[in-house]
Amino acid sequence: MSYDFVNIEHKWQTNWETQRTFATPNPGQPGFDPSKPKYYVLDMFPYPSGVGLHVGHPLGYIATDIIARYKRSRGFNVLHPMGYDAFGLPAEQFAVEQGVHPAITTNQNIMNMTRQLKRLGLSYDWERSVATTDPEYYKWTQWIFLQLYDAWFDPFRRMARPIDDLFTELEAGRILVGIEGEAVLSSNTEGVDAVTGLPVGTRKLHELPPAELHAFIDRQRLAYMDEVPVNWCPQLGTVLANEEVTNEGRSERGNFPVYRRPLRQWMLRITAFADRLLEDLDLVDWPAATKMMQRNWIGRSEGASVKFPLGMGASSGLDDELVVFTTRPDTLFGATYMVLSPEHPLIDAISTAEQFHAVNAYRIAAGEKSDVDRIAEAGSGVKSGVFTGAYAINPVNNQPIPIWIADYVLMSYGTGAIMAVPAHDSRDFAFARHFKLPIRPVVMPDDAWLNAHGPREMVGGNPDALRAAYAADPARFDEAFTDHGTAINSNNEELSLDDHGTAQAQAEMIEWLEGNGRGRRHVQYKLRDWLFSRQRYWGEPFPILHDADGTSMAVEESDLPVLLPEMEDFRPAASDDPDAPPQPPLSRAPLAWKQVVREGRTLQREFNTMPQWAGSCWYYLRFLDPRNGERFVSAEAERYWMGGPTAATRDVGAASMADDGTASKADDGSAAMTSAGIESSRAGGHAGSKVSGQVGGVDLYVGGVEHAVLHLLYARFWHKVLFDLGHVSTPEPFARLFNQGYIQAFYYEDARGVRVSAEEIEERDGAFFYQGQPVTRHMGKMGKSLKNAIAPDDICAQYGCDTLRLYEMYLGPLDQSKIWRTADITGVHRFLQRLWRVFVNEDGSLRISDDAPPLDLQRLLHRTIKRVTDAMDNLAFNVAIAALIELNNELVKRYASDEVARTSGRAQIGVPRQIAEPMVLLLAPLAPHIAEELWQKLGHHASLSAEAWPRWEQAFLIEERIEYPVQINGKLKSKISVPSDADDAAIQAAASADEKIAPLIAGMKIKKAIIIKGRMVNLIVG
């Protein structure tokens, strides 16, 4: 009987489903074993695509399945769920293309993808499956949104707290309301009023009219509405988050142009968590590249904010000041001009009449400049700009300096204004040279730099002369000196930085600025708040109601979910016009949905929907308890599967965090660096497994690197809010992250550069043809757009999914990109065929003997167990498969060759059961169907998924004799075989006596013999 994979695989997939083999009980449920440790292994869930899977998609799913099966046999309670991220643009666009309602296409696609995934034999607990579009799911997405809406960020404690606590803080006078309605800490030392002892212009709770109080509270929420410059994509008919816009200023989805435009939108206050999102990366075991991307995205810079009073020419009449952020406060004496971004709001107020025309012309030109132009300009180093006619006063020397505008200063970072220090910033240097602005050196470079960048005629000259030349005119040097050095020209009456190193000078300058109320230490982040609303139909409705007077309020928890209304026309209001107003499709919903009457007042629902990312921010929590109708997840299930610390431990951590936050100067929410709690857990070390043990969370999370910032940053943010509010027990959601590589394949382009179907390519004499026409071959990520996708269904039909699983894992390390070559499948397919044949006779009977296996075979088995086990622990499945092939080759050699069959008589000789059974168990996570079938043939009635992983015994790993390579002066010359218990002297004697070695060392003196037990011998002769 040959290896009939079609029937075997179908049989076992059906069996697993009907026997509920992989259904995983929660604590307290029947069948739950509390004595076992837990292991939560998770895939990034897919969106249900209309074209289905290609063989690149399951790469990660196969890997997690192998781990899930392996961990089960290692005695863990394994949680391994799968679901669908079904809201969002792709699903909606597919529905629009098909002209079918997205609810229908989404369900069809989910069914198709589930069928495809089940065919791969993946051991998911399908009973836990969720779709983010299910009202029973998005009810809780809305509920979490309300947690954000009903929370604020307490800068004292550096954590999210219920909004009601804000009243407490107002009553206690710890929080005050500032001039512009902003929150001010009473501990703020800046501009304190001499009479009240409080910051100037601030008011306490009882001084506020109710409407202002309401507006103030709304502005503190973690989910708030604000009019901000947003990314507006008219062709998608929606606004987009910064993370969804490419560097070229186009939409990540669809590649449509995106325009910046002020609109009132929902925002989530992720910036409040910037420092914790940054610090806690040290707690998790993630790929270095992914951590790096998150760090870059958060973009933390330490420095100072500095106030520059406006001076001559300023027409505002106010005692205005210009605040800038700098990472180099030590160079303040070198600030010879200032630059505002062209969008800066102060420009109109300060520009002089003579310059107004030029300023306006520049502003318009800058606004029309495309992002591509700006990038090109940045690359070229050419700077454009215009003088406003106004001056500011440099606070350290009271000198007036001109204020320019230029588009190399971005409104979206810092304050949209800079102090320019041309001597020590390359952009300012280029600008100052171009516009002949003064360049004042305030940091002396080292001699090496001066030599490398000085005027040609001075190279190699006297260092003193070079220094003098630099101090006299840095413009003679070919670039700005931007490194640390020694301060010069940096003294005033109260401050002398000269001769101090940069780090010291920075500290002294900040001290001076703070002492004189001219500035303060400041940490700046690139991260901006998360634009959370979309003008699309296929998303979660906001659980928010608006009153006619403009106030908004939360939908009652008991009224959740707010169902997405049935609509025939769900299409977005797409347009080519950048100035077209956003028109959320829900504004066209039936009146019965749009209007809600509460306490006699008619309220209007929010018409925006949530973005794609909302559902994926917390799905890993819903899997823990997917059918819970009372809570988003039960506390018990959450604590068990996420493995968070016990309640007692957590209280200690929270207390220390509060103490530290209170003690530090967390004035603007950015100054407090590290909390004691985080510092101490960080001290636990950097080794992955140790750290993940401490932090809790998903034990292994596998997915593509494309989510390095978007999904992973958003999910961490939500998780931290839920953690602060006491809804989850761990500070981080994903203890260990693994990014699998992509599957690449050849694709083909015809003479016009149009891609043609890779399936229909013919190869002749190394050239490629499509329908007779020559085409060129390229390599790229497998997918629909390159027309090189291969469906797993086809491979399963032809070779079986065990073969597909093995092939994908055997291609190479999981985190690398790999090239798919269907022809190469034959290698692993042969392995399974040979395995089958060595166990099973042609008539289907088993070729197994109950004889004790020979010792050398036992040793090979135990070596294999060790190798496979180590490989599994390292996710090195290619190595595990190689070890199994090697063992199988040995079995074939001994028990299946024609020679053996002829001389011994078939069925008389078979694989010893003591070898066969452990081998089948080792194979089971990788190729589960054939393993189950063989296991059953071996006489077992239950699924092998309940069997324990084979153990290797040290005794079988020890050989009687060890073969030592013998080197002379480090060069391999011979090999000797020595009893494994031989001591060094015996080994050396054997080596010296070896027939190849003896003549080489004859008459020489052995200066030194290096003998590494069990490894090698190296004789040093002279």
Partner RNA sequence: GCCCCGGUGGCGAAACUGGCAGACGCACGGCACUUAAAAUGCCGAGACCCGCAAGGGUCGUGCGGGUUCGACUCCCGCCCGGGGCACCA
Question: Binders of RNA among 403-422, rule CB under 7 A?
Answer: 407-414, 416, 418
Nearer to RNA, 467 or 526 (CB): 526
Binding region for RNA (CB under 7 A) out of 181-189, 551-559, 659-667, 874-882: 874-882
Q: Least separation, in Å, of the C-beta of 326 and RNA? A: 4
Assess contact for 186 and 170: CB atoms under 8 A.
no
Binding region for RNA (CB under 7 A) out of 660-668, 879-887, 916-924, 985-993: 879-887
Backbone angles phi, psi at 287, to 5 degrees: -60, 140
Binding region for RNA (CB under 7 A) out of 183-191, 391-399, 539-547, 822-830: 822-830
714: exposed, middle or buried (Cβ count in 10 Å: 0-12, 13-18, 19+): buried
Task: Give the residue among 64, 127, 122 at the shortest CA–CA distance from 792.
Answer: 122
Any bridge partners for residue 445, and if so which? Answer: none
Using rule CB under 7 A, residue 327 touches RNA? yes
Binding region for RNA (CB under 7 A) out of 436-444, 812-820, 953-961, 986-994: 812-820
Q: Looking at 455, 668, 975, 982, which residue binds RNA (CB under 7 A)?
A: 975
Q: Looking at 104, 972, 998, 1004, which residue binds RNA (CB under 7 A)?
A: 972
Q: Least separation, in Å, of the C-beta of 825 and RNA? A: 8
CA–CA separation, 390 vs 404, rounded Å? Answer: 8
Please count the CA atoms within 13 angstroms of the CA of 188 that sit on its side-chain side: 26
CA–CA separation, 895 vs 962, rounded Å? Answer: 27
Question: How many chain residues bind RNA (CB under 7 A)?
Answer: 88
Q: Least separation, in Å, of the C-beta of 932 and RNA? A: 23
Q: How far is CA 437 from the centre of its chain?
A: 44
Nearer to RNA, 536 or 866 (CB): 866
Interaction mask 279-298, RNA, x per CB under 7 A: ---------xx--xx--xx-
Which residues lie closer than 8 Å to 885 by C-beta, 6 or more apart?
A: 831
CA–CA separation, 303 vs 522, rounded Å? Answer: 5
**Helix runs in 789-854, H state only:** 792-799, 801-810, 826-839
Coil, strand, or helix at residue 635?
A: helix
Binding region for RNA (CB under 7 A) out of 355-363, 537-545, 641-649, 897-905: 897-905
**For the stretch 197-212, what's the b/e string if a residue is b when 16 or more beta carbons lie within 10 angstroms of its beta carbon?**
ebbeebbebeebeeee
Binding region for RNA (CB under 7 A) out of 747-755, 759-767, 831-839, 910-918: 831-839
Task: Give the residue among 682, 771, 700 at the shortest CA–CA distance from 739.
Answer: 700
CA–CA separation, 258 vs 746, rounded Å? Answer: 33
Q: Looking at 136, 377, 498, 668, which residue binds RNA (CB under 7 A)?
A: 377
Backbone angles phi, psi at 777, to 5 degrees: -105, 140
Q: Least separation, in Å, of the C-beta of 553 and RNA? A: 35
Q: Looking at 368, 549, 569, 963, which residue binds RNA (CB under 7 A)?
A: 963
Contacts (CB under 7 A) with RNA, residues 221-280: 247
Q: Looking at 591, 592, 823, 955, which residue binds RNA (CB under 7 A)?
A: 823
Other beta carbons within 10 Å of 720: 23
Assess contact for 388 and 404: CB atoms under 8 A.
yes
Q: Looking at 347, 444, 832, 876, which residue binds RNA (CB under 7 A)?
A: 876
Nearer to RNA, 521 or 818 (CB): 818
Backbone angles phi, psi at 247, to 5 degrees: -60, -25
Using rule CB under 7 A, residue 899 touches RNA? yes
Assess contact for 610 and 533: CB atoms under 8 A.
yes
CA–CA separation, 696 vs 146, rounded Å? Answer: 26
Strand 700-703 with 737-739, pairing: parallel
Other beta carbons within 10 Å of 1012: 11
Contacts (CB under 7 A) with RNA, residues 512-541: 524, 526
Q: What is the sign, positive or negative, of the torsion defined by CA atoms of 448, 453, 459, 465? A: negative
Contacts (CB under 7 A) with RNA, residues 22-51: none
Q: Least separation, in Å, of the C-beta of 437 and RNA? A: 15
Q: Looking at 169, 244, 330, 425, which residue binds RNA (CB under 7 A)?
A: 425
Binding region for RNA (CB under 7 A) out of 95-103, 149-157, 567-575, 816-824: 816-824
Assess contact for 282 and 682: CB atoms under 8 A.
yes
Q: Least separation, in Å, of the C-beta of 967 and RNA? A: 6
Interaction mask 997-1016, RNA, x per CB under 7 A: -----------x-x-x--xx
Contacts (CB under 7 A) with RNA, residues 672-731: 705, 709
Using rule CB under 7 A, residue 483 touches RNA? no
Instruction: For tokens 């960048």, name the residue.
Output: 453
Binding region for RNA (CB under 7 A) out of 397-405, 471-479, 687-695, 896-904: 896-904
Backbone angles phi, psi at 53, to 5 degrees: -85, 150
Nearer to RNA, 410 or 993 (CB): 410
Nearer to RNA, 311 or 827 (CB): 827
Binding region for RNA (CB under 7 A) out of 435-443, 557-565, 625-633, 833-841: 833-841
Q: Looking at 57, 72, 221, 383, which residue binds RNA (CB under 7 A)?
A: 383
Any bridge partners for residue 117, and if so which? Answer: none
Q: Least separation, in Å, of the C-beta of 1003 and RNA? A: 18
Other beta carbons within 10 Å of 8: 19
Q: Least separation, in Å, of the C-beta of 337 and RNA? A: 12
